Amino acid sequence: MNAPPPRARATVRTARDASAHAAGRLGWLSGAGLVVANMVGAGVLLSTGFMAQILEPTAILAAWALGAALALLGAASYATIAAVNGRSGGEYRYLSDYLHPSLGYVAGWGSLLLGFAAPVAVDALAVAAFVRVLVPLPVTGTAAACVVGVTLLHAFDLDASRRSQNVLVAVKLALIVGLIATGALLGSTSLPDWVPPDATEGRFLEDFLLQQYWIAFAFSGWNAAVYVAGEFRDPRRDVVRAVWTGCTAVGVLYLALNWVFVANLDPAAAKVVFAYETQHATLAHALLERLVGPVGAMLAAGIIILLFLSAMSAMTFVGPRVYAAMADDGYLPRRFRAREGRPPSWSVLLQGTIALAFVLTHDIREAVASASSVLILFSGLTALCVLRLRARGAASPPLLTTVAATIYAGCNAWLLYLGVTRFGHVGWQLLVVVAIALLAYAATRWRASRAA
């Protein structure tokens, strides 16, 4: 498991990129679907219910618009880097190439332990909870079965993996659009004037900004295409299109969906989300039950099961490409590498195993906070790679993109501070992951130097 130094990796990059390009099977539309599938999950069906208790309707929509703007700032940063780099691996690849290999290594382990495995576990637990609404099956056992099933789906056949992912994305989009259309056609589309019951005078700005921590999780996944960049037909062109198209589409869908929620559900009705852990109810349940009747809750459960399965599938497709890239560079055993025309089977199985451990040991809120912290930290650091590209002078990004990257990195620093101060376990989990990863990186480099 000897790790070649960065300069040595750079000398073999051209040949490896050519091979990856030849084997690429994804077009930009599939990439955009991958982005959508990663982004749309539980957050958008829950967050507004909590927000309705402290923010008025216009402020809620403004908060989601701000979240969309921040995601697009991040998308601008990543798209700029992807247009220059064109390789798989996401934050691991970019931080390794443009800041320092140790940062990339830590980001890779953060993705492995918290960035992808934890969200897969969150979605599996959600699927199991909503299955139980329909059929009395044990939550933990059902969640474990979902993780195993999705892992096996993506572990061995690349064509089957890609096709099943495309189908799930199409179903997810149809369901979200159908939910918006139902609310618009059967309910109200006028912005209401209800007053939030728990609003505190003089704390509006603080309450408004605090929502961005959860909204950031709802928007996470806009960078999904960069993790599999090497599997696109034309990475430097298609990844940029996929990131922009997917992120913009989800931003529009989220705003439309939340408009329907605030127009049809007052704070009392939206309070159903406080019972999510015990009664497994979301704003979709409340909306459909109000507009369609008792059968609406059953329909909502089915919709949400499919949404979460699609998100699980997308993250199981994307995440293992990070570990495969680490194996390419010698930071993981060679068996975790991807073979041409095949998925990185051992990497898929590794992520599935860790997700299974999360299912058995964490509750949903802890896993969400842990995943959010990793996503916020490393996406903010990756945005700084734009500044490094500009400093190098080669393929220098536009000034506007540099400004966008700087703003995005600053916002992420604030969100990370918020998470560490508000959720006690987030800080120590990040410290543990970073410390272990740095020690492992040092040991790997030491072995590499001795072998040389």
Q: Which of 65-69, 109-113, 196-200, 226-230 is predicted with the least confidence, judged by mean pLDDT?
A: 109-113
The predicted-structure confidence for 316-371, as pLDDT tens digits, reads as follows 999 999 999 999 988 888 899 988 778 899 999 999 999 998 888 765 555 566 66
pTM: 0.83
Domain assignment present for residue 48? The answer is yes
Instruction: Please give the residue that has the higher pLDDT: either 25 or 76.
Output: 76
Res. 278 pLDDT band, cuts 50 70 90: confident
Domain assignment present for residue 269? The answer is yes
pLDDT reported for residue 147: 95
pLDDT reported for residue 216: 83
- CATH at 326: 1.20.1740.10
Mean pLDDT of 165-171: 86
Q: Is residue 232 helix, strand or coil?
A: strand
Domain assignment present for residue 338? The answer is yes
Domain assignment present for residue 407? The answer is no
Domain assignment present for residue 395? The answer is no
pLDDT reported for residue 434: 82
pLDDT reported for residue 3: 41
Res. 291 pLDDT band, cuts 50 70 90: very high
Domain assignment present for residue 259? The answer is yes
Domain assignment present for residue 337? The answer is yes
Res. 52 pLDDT band, cuts 50 70 90: very high
Backbone angles phi, psi at 369, to 5 degrees: -65, -40
pLDDT reported for residue 18: 40
The predicted-structure confidence for 369-381, as pLDDT tens digits, reads as follows 666 777 788 899 9
Any residues with CB less than 8 A from the CB of 301 and at least 6 apart, and which?
130, 133, 134, 280, 285
Res. 407 pLDDT band, cuts 50 70 90: very high
Domain assignment present for residue 189? The answer is yes
Above 60 in pLDDT, residue 5? Answer: no
* Sign of the torsion angle spanned by Cα atoms 432, 433, 439, 440: positive
Domain count, the chain: 1
Distance CA 247, CA 351 (A): 25
Q: Which of 22-36, 129-143, 261-275, 409-423 is predicted with the least confidence, judged by mean pLDDT?
A: 22-36
Distance CA 274, CA 340 (A): 47
Range of the domain at 55: 6-79+115-360
